[in-house]
Structure 1
Amino acid sequence: MVALLLLLAAALLAAPGASARPQAAAPVPPATLTEVTGFGANPSNLQMYVYAPATVTAHPPVLVAVHWCGGSGPAMYSGTEYAQLADRYGFVVVYPSVTRSSRCFDVSSPQALRRGGGSDPVGVKSMIDWVTAAYAADTGRVFATGISSGAMMTNVLLGDYPDVFAAGSAFSGVPFGCFATTDGSEWNSACSGGTVIHTAREWGDLVRAAYPGYTGPRPRMQLWHGTEDDVLRYPNFGEEIKQWTDVRGVGQTPATTDTPASGWTRTRYGGTGDQAPVEAVSLQGVGHNLYAWGMAARVITFFGLDTSGPVPQPEPGGCRVSATTNAWNTGLTGSITLTNTGTTTVDGWRLAFALPSGQTITNGWGATYAPSAGAVTATNASYNGSLAPGASVTIGYQATHTGNSAAPGAFTLNGATCGTG
C-alpha cells in the first residue's frame, strides 16, 4: 500500500500543470469566414457568419455588417473591407444573412419595430450574445453598419436595442419606422419614394416607442446618401437626420460642415470631431449603390475602432441640473432647473432622473412626468421645448413621501449625463 501511494504521488508530481495544457480551440477558425449554427433565439431563420482575425484583441469590439436586398452574409464579407480592417484592429465581425426568398431584412413588420418582437432583430441580438460569450467581447463597443436593406436594418437595430449598440452607420437607408406596414408587405412605396415626412420629435418618438421606458444613453449615428438615389429617394436622408438628432437630443443646425472628398458634403451635429453624436455625408450626383472601397475606413473612424481605447461616451457638461425640495409631513414640492451648457440648441428635451424611494409624483408643471415613481422622465411642454446654449428652464412637481424627502438625482438629458449643482 505504501509503495502504491508513493507511485501515485510520483505520477501526480510528474503530471503537467494547468499552464502546460493545450489551450482550448478558438470559437471559430481564425481569419476564416465561418457559419455558426445554434446561436440562440432566431425566429426568422437568419444565418450567422463570423469573421475573427488571427489576432483578436482582449475583450474585442463587435461589428455587425448587414447586407443589402438580394445579398447575403458572405456577399457582404467579400464586397466590403471590414474583414481586412478587423485583421488590422482586432475586432470581430458578424455577418447576418437572410434566408427568406426576397433576401431583404424585415424592417417593416410590427414585430421588427419593437424590442424582442420576434423577427430579424431578435436573431441579430442572439448573434451578438453568442460572440460576446465566445470571445468575452466588450459589450460597450458593439456597432452596426449596413447597405440599403442593411442600412434600414441598422436604423431598426439601434432603435430596438439602444442598450446594445454604441453607434451605427447606414448607407442609403431610411429612418426607423418609415417602412412600417401592417399588411405583411415588405415594401413601403411612400417611404421609398421619400414622401413620408415627420417632425424631428415625431421621428424620435417612433424610435423611443420601440423600447418604452428606456432612459439610458442612445447610440451615435452616421448616415450616407446619394442625391440621385432612385430606390430610396434622397428626402429620406434629411428625415434620418431629423430622427437621430432628436433621439440624441442635439440641434438640427450642423455644428460643422466640410467636404472630405470631391462631391461630398459632411455635416456633424452636436459635436465637431470624428465621433460626433450624428454625422451625415451627402454625395452629389450619386445613386443608390453609393458604397465604395475606402468608405469602411471612415466608418471605423466614426466608431472609434481604429484606436485602442473605447468610444468616447457623453461627459457631464452638455447640461447642468439643480434640484431642491420643500417637504411637510407626508408631502413635498420639488423644483428642478435644467441648463443647456452645450454649444447647440436642444430642440425637444427629456430629462430622466431617479426619484428617491418612497416618493410618488401626484402632479407637476412645466413638463409631463412618467412614470410617477422610480426612474422618472420629464418631457418638455409645448412652450418650453427649445433650449438655446446657456438657456435654462425650471419645472416642478408635487409628491407624497414616506419619510425620505430628498431631491432626485442621476439626471440625463436625452440620454446624455448631466452635471449637477
Structure 2
Amino acid sequence: MHPTPHTPARGPLRPLLAALLAALAPLLAAVALAAPPAAARAQVPAATLTEVTDFGANPSDLRMHLYVPDGVTENPAVLVAVHYCTGSGPAMYSGTEYASLADRYGFIVVYPSATRAGKCFDVSSPQALRRGGGSDPVGIRSMVDWVVRAYDADTGRIFATGISSGAMMTNVLLGNYPDVFAAGAAFAGVPFGCFATTDGSEWNSACAGGTVTRTPQQWGDLVRGSYPGYSGPRPRMQLWHGTQDDVLRYPNFGEEIKQWTNVHGVGQAPAATDTPQPGWTRTRYGGTGDRAPVEAISLQGVGHNLYAPGMGARVLAFFGLDASGPAPQPPAGACRVTVTTNAWSTGLTASVTITNTGTTAVNGWKLGFTLPAGQTVTGGWGATYTPASGAVTATNAAYNGTLAPNASVTVGYQASHTGDSAAPRAFTLNGTACTTG
C-alpha cells in the first residue's frame, strides 16, 4: 500500500521540530523571567527573605533579596533598603525594622547587595553618576522594575533609604532616577556627586573628610546633569547625620541640604525647626509638615553608626507609608499659577499670575519653578529671581508680599534661550504645589 500524501513528511518533521524547540528555549525562558506576574510571585514565599535572580540588567553583579509580607496590599508601595560598606541585603534585613514595618503596612522591601571587595556601592564612577550609566544604579533600577511587574506595584510610591554607603546610593538613585523614586531617606551620607572619582578609586578622602564645599546651585547642577532635560517633579529627601561622624564628616550634612533645597527650588532658611527628641534638631525646608520637600535631622554628639530602632518609623512618616493602603497625597495646592510667554529667536518674556486659592492670607511668598534647559533669566519685575537658571525661586517684592484669599499678583521675567522657549511646567508657592492654568 502506498503511504498517504502526508506520511513521508512526518519523519523529517521530528528533528526539525526538535531543533526549533531548542532554538526557542532561551527565548521562552527569558519571557518567563520577564513577566507573568503569577509565575514571578510564585518564586517569593510570603514573610520570608528570598533571593531573586535574573531580575534584569545588572552590569555590576548585584544580588537582590526581597521581603513580601503576608498582608501585602494591592498595588503595594516599594521600599529599597540599601546597606552600608561591609554589609549585605540580609544584614540590612536583620539590622533594621523595615520588614516588621512592611508586615504592619503592607509594602514590599527590596534589599540590594554589593558583591565587590569591601561590599560598598559604586557612588563614585562616571557610570554610576549618570542615568543608565551601567553600574550599580542600573541594577537597582532593574530590581524595582521586576517588583513592579511581578506585583503590579504603585509606580508613584517607590522609595529608597540607606545607611552610609547606602545613604550615598540613596542620593545617587534620586538624582539618576527622579521619575522612579518619590522620596528618599539618607542616614550618614554625602551629596550626589561628592564622592566622584575618575581614577577608578571607590574612595574620595576629600569628600569623606567634609572638605568638599560647593554653592547650592553647583550641587543642584550635579543632580540635574545626571538626567539632562528632565523637568518633572523631584523626589523629596530626608537627611540624617551625627555631629561626631568621623567617617563621613558632619559638613557633608550641610552640603546635602544645600543640594536638595536647590534641586527643589526652595530657600536655604528652614520653614520650621523643632526637637523631636532630646539631642535632635529637625529642620524642614519648603514646607512645615511631614511632607516637606527636604527634611534634615541633626543628632548632637552621635557618630557614624547613628541608625537606631524607631528611626524607620520616622522614615515611613516622611514617605507617607505609615498607613495601610495607598499613601494620602499632599493636599491640592492653595494656589493657582498661569503663565503666558512671548518668545523670539533668542529670548522671551513671561508673565506669571499667582492666585491665592486658600482661605487664609499669604504673608510673604516664594514661587519655585524649574526653567527648561537653555533658559537663563536676564531680568525681572515684581519679584527677585535666584538663581538665573535651573531651579529658580521668585521672592516677593516689598509691596506685593501679602496675598489675601482669592487675590492675585502678576510678576514676570525676561530670559534668553537656546531653542526651548517653553514656560515652566510646575510651580510651588512656599513649598506647596500649585495648580496651573
TM bin (shorter chain): 0.7 to 0.9
The SS at the match of 1:153 is: helix
Matching residue of 2:120: 104
Q: Call closer, same or farther: CA 1:228–1:409 in 2, change over 3 Å.
A: closer
Query: SS state of the match for residue 35, structure 1?
Result: strand
Aligned partner of 1:184 in structure 2 is: 200
2:187 aligned residue (171, 174, 177):
171
Deviation, 1:396, is 4.2
1:147 and 2:155 matched: no
Provide the residue aligned with 1:310 in structure 2.
327
1:412 and 2:430 matched: no
2:105 equivalent to 1:89? yes
Q: Distance in 2 between matches of 1:197 and 1:416?
A: 29
**Per-residue CA shift, 1:240-276, capped at 9, x if unaligned?**
0010011111111111111111100001111111111
Label 1:363 to 1:75 Cα distance change in 2 as closer, same or farther (>3 A). Answer: closer
Instruction: Go from structure 1 to structure 2 and tell me whether the alpha carbon gap of 1:179 and 1:136 turns closer, same or farther (over 3 Å shift).
Output: same
For residues 205 and 362 of structure 1, what CA distance do their matches in structure 2 show? 14
Letter in 1 for 2:425: F
The farther-off stretch of 408-417 and 85-94 is 408-417
Structure-2 residue corresponding to 1:252 = 268
1:6-405 → structure 2 map (5 Å cutoff): 26-307=42-323, 308-310=325-327, 312-313=329-330, 315-317=332-334, 320-323=337-340, 325=342, 335-337=350-352, 339=354, 346=366, 350-352=370-372, 366=379, 381=388, 387-389=394-396, 393-396=411-414
Identify if the C-alpha distance between structure 1 residues 398 and 409 changes in structure 2 by more than 3 Å, giving closer, same or farther.
Answer: closer
Whole-Å separation in 2 of the counterparts to 1:344 and 1:220: 23
| 5+ long unaligned stretches in structure 1 | 1-22, 354-360, 368-377, 400-406
Deviations 1:79-105 (A, max 9, x none): 000000000000000000011011000
1:271 to 1:393, Cα distance in 2 relative to 1, 3 A? same
The residue matched to 2:426 in structure 1 has which SS?
A: strand
Quote how far apart the aligned CAs of 1:221 are: 0.3
Secondary structure of the corresponding residue to residue 54 of structure 2: coil
Q: Deviation string for 1:55-88 (max 9, x for gaps)?
A: 1100000000000000000000000000000000
**Distance change in 2, residues 1:362/1:196 (3 Å):** closer
Kindly indicate whether the alpha-carbon contact (under 8 Å) linking 1:190 and 1:196 is maintained by their aligned counterparts in 2. yes
Q: Deviations over 1:122-168 (max 9, x none)?
A: 00000000000000000000000000000000000000000000000
SS of 2:147's equivalent in the other structure is helix
Residues matched between the structures, number:
373
Aligned partners of 1:351 and 1:379 also within 8 Å = no
Q: Give the drift of 1:417.
A: 5.4
User: Retained in 1: the 8 A contact 2:83–2:113?
Assistant: yes
Cα distance, 1:379 vs. partner? 9.0
| Contact 2:82/2:162 (<8 A) preserved | yes
Equivalent position of 2:32 in the other structure? none
Contact 1:340 1:388 in 2 (8 A): no
Once residues 416 and 262 of structure 1 are traced to their aligned partners in structure 2, the CA distance between those partners, rounded to angstroms, is 29
Determine the C-alpha separation between the residues in 2 that align with 1:236 and 1:158. 17
Secondary structure of the corresponding residue to residue 206 of structure 2: helix
Judge which range, 304-313 or 67-76, deviates more.
304-313
Note if contact 1:27-1:135 (Cα within 8 Å) is conserved in structure 2: no
CA deviation map 1:205-246 (0-9, x unaligned) = 000000000000000000000000000000000000010011
In structure 2, C-alpha distance between the alignment counterparts of 1:345 and 1:168, rounded to whole Å: 27
Q: Give the 3 Å change call, closer, same or farther, for CA 314–111 of structure 1 in structure 2.
A: farther
Q: Secondary structure at the match of 1:122?
A: helix
- Report if aligned partners of 1:362, 1:397 keep a CA contact under 8 Å in 2: yes
Q: Which amino acid aligns with 1:388?
A: T
> What one-letter code is carried by the residue in structure 2 that aligns with 1:82?
Y
Cα distance change, pair 259–343 in 1 and its aligned pair in 2 (3 A)? farther
Amino acid at match of 1:321: T
Structure-1 separation of matches of 2:107 and 2:305: 26
Return the TM-score normalized by structure 1: 0.80
TM-score, scaled to structure 2: 0.77
Q: Let me know the Cα RMSD of the aligned residues.
A: 3.3
Aligned partners of 2:71 and 2:178: how far apart in 1? 29
How far apart, in 2, do the equivalents of 1:139 and 1:181 lie?
A: 32
Conserved in 2, the CA contact under 8 Å of 1:67 and 1:96?
yes
SS in 2 for 1:388: strand
Offset from partner CA, 1:269-318 (integer Å, 9 cap, x none): 11111111111000000000000011101001111111233353584456
